[in-house]
């Protein structure tokens, strides 16, 4: 199971008018520890940022799963309520999970979520879908 960490990277971004502005952008990294998350985001961002930058925050997220779509350029967080029935007491129990979905717009996010959940046997309901400020998501690198 993946451990997703949100890392905030602070750097000087060149604006369209040519001025440099300090910005902080969030990224998601699959890592085993806070230290590894910071090292991975530094490694991933070094080729893209000219000049100095710093990792201003690293925090563990509660994202259970990610549905990737290479055609998508934005990230949406889907809060899902799973409904289970306790076999002994026959009481309906609800638990929530957060699933990140890559898409271009809200409708695509919904469609990609439904497609990702296609083989699921559990009953669920979508509680909310919201766009996130995430710039990119970096999966664990597979070493051959």
pLDDT tens track for 111-138: 999 999 998 888 899 999 999 999 999 9
Query: Hey, CA dihedral for 102, 106, 110, 111, is it positive or negative?
Result: negative
In a 13 Å sphere around the CA of 132, the CA atoms on its Cβ side amount to 26
φ, ψ of residue 36 in degrees (nearest 5): -65, -35
pTM above 0.75, yes or no: yes
The pLDDT of residue 144: 60
Residue 55: C-alpha distances to residues 21, 34, 36, 72, 134 (Å): 16, 11, 12, 26, 15
Measured CA to CA, the distance from residue 116 to residue 108 in angstroms comes to 12
What does the pLDDT look like over 39-76, one tens digit per residue? 999 999 999 888 889 999 999 999 999 999 999 999 99
Residue in 53, 23, 51 with CA at minimum distance from that of residue 38? 53
- Contact between 102 and 68 (Cβ < 8 Å): yes
Q: Which SS3 state, helix, strand or coil, does residue 39 take?
A: helix
């Amino acid at each position: 199971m993946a451990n997703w960490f949100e890392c905030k990277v602070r750097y000087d971004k060149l604006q369209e008018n040519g001025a440099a502005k300090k910005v902080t952008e969030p990224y998601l990294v699959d890592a085993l520890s806070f230290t590894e998350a910071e090292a991975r985001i530094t490694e991933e961002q070094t080729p893209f940022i000219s000049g100095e930058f710093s990792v201003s925050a690293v925090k563990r997220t509660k994202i259970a799963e990610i549905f990737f779509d290479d055609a998508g350029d934005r990230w949406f967080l889907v809060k899902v309520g799973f409904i289970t029935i306790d076999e002994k007491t026959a009481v309906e129990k609800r638990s929530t999970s957060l699933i990140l979905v890559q898409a271009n717009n809200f409708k695509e996010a919904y469609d990609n979520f439904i497609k990702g959940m296609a083989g699921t046997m559990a009953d669920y309901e979508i509680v909310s879908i919201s766009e996130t400020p995430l710039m990119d998501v970096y999966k664990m690198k597979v070493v051959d």
